[in-house]
Amino acid sequence: MPQDSSTQLDPAQERELAYYEDLYGTIGVGHFAKPAVVAFRDYLVRRIVRATGAKRMSRVLSVGCGIGDLELLLAPHVADVTGVDLSPAAIAEANRAATARNIRNARFIQGAWQDAPLVGESFDLVLAIFFLHHLPDADLAEFPKRLLPFLSSTAVFYALEPSAHRLSGFLGKVLVPGLMKKYQTEGERQLLPRPTAVPFRQAGFDVATPWFDFVSTPLAGLFPSWAIGYGMARLLDEGLTACIGLRALKQQF
């Protein structure tokens, strides 16, 4: 699908788009289909449903949906899912997968999430999974206000983002810098929970920033075929995230 003509990208966004076009056109689809990555997505879907109270009648919008692997897992739990991404390669793969799996309540749109054809639509749950940390500071500050017109009166926004204090990020740069670079773009960075929450509170959101994990997500990235390993690491994370003294070293929030 051609790029939405209403979407004007700055040079940083152009670099991000070029990176993901290459990723989703080469190794990305195969990587995200590996067992440990699927196990992570499956866990995340169950966590989202539990944390947000998503129901069978909920309408869901996912910004920066990529190839839609999480959204297609979520679709059976809700009324419908709309995924939006700038990458034509990602959206083509998401629509192909939806058709192949006969999932009829998911649609995927190429372009900027705030542009037509979504204008005028209302959603009960909005997801941003590893999306906010790609936004420049000015765009991140404006994001909550731009999101408000798309929210129903009882809507919930759920994001998952890498922490700037994550121990695994430091160790990864030291021990496996090539792998870290392979799956990161030049413009992305890690975020701090409190500053990230500020523009949402200013826009009227009630905000909570619970810890997500320490080791399980990095393990899925390093050993994507080791689903049992991810399961064990997730159990470990359940204990670690309850330890107040360790929370400064969390991986995601």
pLDDT in tens, 150-174: 999 999 999 999 887 765 554 445 4
Alpha-carbon distance values, 109 to 60, 65, 113 (Å): 13, 9, 8
Whether 6 shows a pLDDT value over 90: the answer reads no
Decide: 12 and 187 in contact? Cβ < 8 Å.
yes
How much of the chain, in percent, has pLDDT values that exceed 70?
84
pLDDT in tens, 82-130: 999 999 999 999 999 999 999 999 999 999 888 868 888 999 999 999 9
Q: Domain locations in the chain?
A: 11-249
| CATH-assigned architecture of domain 11-249 | 3-Layer(aba) Sandwich (3.40)
Enter the tokens of residue 140. Answer: 């991140």
Enter the tokens of residue 230. Answer: 């991810």
